[in-house]
Amino acid sequence: MRLLNILVIAALIVAATYVYKIKFDSTLQAERVAKMHLEIRKERNAIASLRAEWAELETPGRIQALAERHLKLQPMQSNQIDTFDNLPPRPAVAPASADPIGAMLTPSAPETTGSIPAPARR
């Protein structure tokens, strides 16, 4: 009977130790979760701050002022704009061949570049 009491007391001590260990581990995990939530909140605040800073940096008025101060741009002249009449003609449609992609890659006429025709020589 005395041996049984000692075994029961030992089992109670082992069970109490195990329960304390589980409680300690769960408290530790809860602290880790709280710390992670705090870090996530800090990162979200940092992201929001960076987005606000980015929005401020990309405002058109600020970019316009920087362009005027640092880039030596000239105002656009009216002769830089042309009409659709001066566009080069569309390339002729090639007849259907065995290789339609190859037909598109092969130029049928000399390539015309530029949107403003060269001045006529007299």
Close Cβ partners of 75 (under 8 Å, ≥ 6 residues apart): none
Do the Cβ atoms of 94 and 108 come closer than 8 Å? yes
pLDDT mean over 53-59: 94
Mean pLDDT of the chain: 85
Rounded CA separation 27/21 (Å)? 10
In this prediction, residue 112 carries a pLDDT of 58
Nearest to 106 by CA among 91, 118, 88, 84: 91
Rounded CA separation 25/18 (Å)? 11
Q: Of 16-20, 89-93, 98-102, 103-107, where does mean pLDDT reach its minimum?
A: 103-107
pLDDT(43) > 90: yes
| Structure tokens that stand for 94 in this block | 């090639």
Q: Of 24-33, 58-67, 81-90, 100-109, where does mean pLDDT reach its minimum?
A: 100-109
Instruction: State the DSSP code for 81.
Output: -
